[in-house]
Chain A
């Protein structure tokens, strides 16, 4: 994680703050910082979203491509995550510096999307054993202000919601080859079902307490974090522990309970925001804010 340097006294101050449930910015243990969402800001992607969580800035683009299904899963499509840590976020990401973090995030996302209960890969199938859709989810980390996992997952879910997959019109078998014809109308598309797509909730352990949405400074004070992938109805899809520290069984069970609750709230908030943004985009010429405004 992006290293910020802190003195012992600052760490003590943060630790005591968490103990008295009043963090440095006035939040309690289970509060999120203000978030901002914008959909459809990359014109050449099938779906895109940008999420800004205080100082963490994430841009996600989704591209679709036609591919051959895996032989062991002939009736399923594919989804692939690629994380790019921009060196603009922190100088440590320069060169290969961000690679470990990038693999960690993309691996965790793949495991959370792997189950048929979270994302229906079968809907991406075009012709069994022969052709399927492949989704490339490109995640760009533009700024690092703590709590990357949560912000990335929100942006991914929003971008998948925004994704338009072109409709395939006709299929003609020509010997062993398949000929696909895409619909002539570029707006003739279908949307992905993201109802069960999980949001990630990071619970950072500071002292004996668990907090959500840690700032970069708070992450520095913590020895271990728990990342949960929680769906809208409160199911935990996958779970992982990051960094070197360990959890007491009691803290872990408590963390699962808190994380589920927070996850449900987070999913709900995202759903509301997506509906509102969708309404705005349907207007005649929706304005785009992007980065420069």
Chain B
């Protein structure tokens, strides 16, 4: 039992890694002037001032990205904007006729059609009326699924599919929510980390951490949930440590991908699990991770 500590707001730790450093990305706040150059094009997250047509201002808080004449502001915190092929983790919020509604941290709920899931009993089975009546047996409200974005509708809502064995209902583990902009787009978003736990980095900012199953990937997809299985304490410690590391990196706005998470996990070994909740330790872990990634890059 550790002592309870209440810190003061004046002792607050600034989680920024690049604070006061040269070459730190410049942040724009809504309404701030980006440029007064007339020849630029206004992209996402920017607007032209109504009174003074020459001034381009930011409409969201974030960093500026420039492609030739086009200027965009990439928001630091945002809802998920889906793209086809993204891996997402979502939670079922509603069961409807022939479809599930899934909360994927985007502006609108996504849909998962019954025709775009692999139902038990053969891949190429006809979907019957019984299947529609059994929908809640497969996935009910509150269940988590990993899926891929199949298409994006005109209003920005997403249609998902789980037609691969790696997607499907998620079993025991824990969910961490970070900003979608912190997830680095990679070829693979499913990782079995060296530390002995697995992680799904959803492009939508939802991260699922779960124990690595001894049997090969084949067991992950589908609609099974093993509620009897008790995860032993070592696995649990790894999962909790990973969670705290991911949150430490995300508090310092550090990009999340397999290597950064793995490094953060290794760098966090100086601290106990509980210490990792304190802001100073979180910053230290993020700082060491950044240092190690940089030295690796330089070498």
- Which A positions have Cβ atoms within 8 angstroms of B? 5-10, 12-13, 16-17, 20, 22-28, 30-38, 50, 154, 262, 265-266, 268-270, 272-273, 276-277, 280, 286-287, 289-290, 293
**Sampled A-B contacts (7; CB under 8 Å):** A5-B142, A16-B231, A23-B240, A25-B243, A26-B243, A34-B7, A289-B12
CB of B133 closer than 8 Å to a CB of A: no
Q: For the complex, what is the distance from the CA of A57 to the CA of B12, rounded to whole Å?
A: 15
**B244: min CB distance to chain A, Å:** 6
CB of B213 closer than 8 Å to a CB of A: no
Q: Which of B150-158, B170-178, B253-261 contacts A (4 or more CB under 8 A)?
A: B170-178
CB of B2 closer than 8 Å to a CB of A: yes
Q: For the complex, what is the distance from the CA of A26 to the CA of B274, rounded to whole Å?
A: 6
Q: For the complex, what is the distance from the CA of A270 to the CA of B227, rounded to whole Å?
A: 40
**B234: min CB distance to chain A, Å:** 10
Q: Which residues of chain B (1-30) have a CB below 8 Å from chain A?
A: 1-10, 12
For residue B227, which residues in chain A have a CB less than 8 angstroms away from its CB? 8-9, 12
With A9-B227, A16-B231, A20-B233 known to touch, is A269 a contact of B4 (CB < 8 Å)? yes
Most buried by B among A7, A16, A38: A7
Closest 3 CB pairs of A and B: A26-B273, A38-B9, A273-B6
CB of B93 closer than 8 Å to a CB of A: yes
For residue A30, which residues in chain B have a CB less than 8 angstroms away from its CB? 1
- Which B positions have Cβ atoms within 8 angstroms of A? 1-10, 12, 91, 93, 141-144, 170-175, 225-227, 230-231, 233, 236-237, 239-241, 243-244, 272-274, 276-279
Task: Kindly identify which residue among A20, A276, A286 contacts B236, using a CB–CB cutoff of 8 Å.
Answer: A20
Task: Kindly identify which residue among B3, B93, B240 contacts A26, using a CB–CB cutoff of 8 Å.
Answer: B240
**A279: min CB distance to chain B, Å:** 10
Task: Kindly identify which residue among A5, A10, A37, A293 contacts B93, using a CB–CB cutoff of 8 Å.
Answer: A5
Query: In the complex the two chains form, is A7's CB within 8 Å of B170's CB?
Result: yes
**B55: min CB distance to chain A, Å:** 25
**A266: min CB distance to chain B, Å:** 6
Query: In the complex the two chains form, is B277's CB within 8 Å of A34's CB?
Result: yes
With A34-B7, A269-B6 known to touch, is A13 a contact of B172 (CB < 8 Å)? yes
For residue B272, which residues in chain A have a CB less than 8 angstroms away from its CB? 26
CB-CB nearest in chain A for B279: A34
Query: In the complex the two chains form, is B276's CB within 8 Å of A273's CB?
Result: no
Query: In the complex the two chains form, is B8's CB within 8 Å of A27's CB?
Result: no
Query: In the complex the two chains form, is B4's CB within 8 Å of A266's CB?
Result: yes
Having A22-B236, A273-B8, one finds 14 other A-B pairs with CB under 8 Å, namely A5-B91, A9-B172, A10-B144, A17-B236, A20-B236, A26-B241, A33-B277, A37-B7, A37-B9, A50-B9, A265-B4, A272-B6, A289-B9, A289-B10
Q: For the complex, what is the distance from the CA of A262 to the CA of B1, rounded to whole Å?
A: 10
Query: In the complex the two chains form, is A10's CB within 8 Å of B172's CB?
Result: yes
With A13-B172, A17-B236, A265-B4 known to touch, is A27 a contact of B277 (CB < 8 Å)? yes
For residue B230, which residues in chain A have a CB less than 8 angstroms away from its CB? 16
CB-CB nearest in chain B for A6: B142
Query: In the complex the two chains form, is B274's CB within 8 Å of A35's CB?
Result: no
For residue B7, which residues in chain A have a CB less than 8 angstroms away from its CB? 34-37, 273
